[in-house]
Amino acid sequence: KENVTVYHSGFKPLEWNFLQSREAGACYTKLVMEKTTEKIVGYHYLGPNAGEVAQGYATALKMGVTKEQWDDTVKIHPTCSEEMLGIHATKGGGENAVKTGCCG
């Protein structure tokens, strides 16, 4: 716990924007970064197309991607996968992790 930073975000996928039955934080994503190396050592994604999203980032994790490299990745818009990039709210940091609107 002391040697990791956890970034997280709640969001509503673009394709769900017209569904009033779904709340803004209906989906969730989390990155776990090792502080000294800034390498991403884990991630979680709860939302549509989770298998494709997970597979898309697996190679980057296996290759030792850092948070800076992760954030510099080009976002594919409009996809749920783009929610994995540019996460800035940290657990315990007091920021609101729930995005509202299309581009958070």
Burial class of 43 by CB neighbour count within 10 A (0 to 12, 13 to 18, 19+) = buried
Write out pLDDT tens, residues 16-45: 777 677 676 788 999 999 999 999 999 999
Residue 23 and residue 16: Cα distance in Å, rounded?
9
Q: Are 10 and 88 in contact (CB under 8 A)?
A: no
User: CA-CA-CA-CA torsion for 75, 58, 64, 43, nearest 10 degrees?
Assistant: 80
Which positions are annotated as active-site residues? 77
What is the pTM assigned to this prediction? Answer: 0.81
66: three-class secondary structure by DSSP: strand
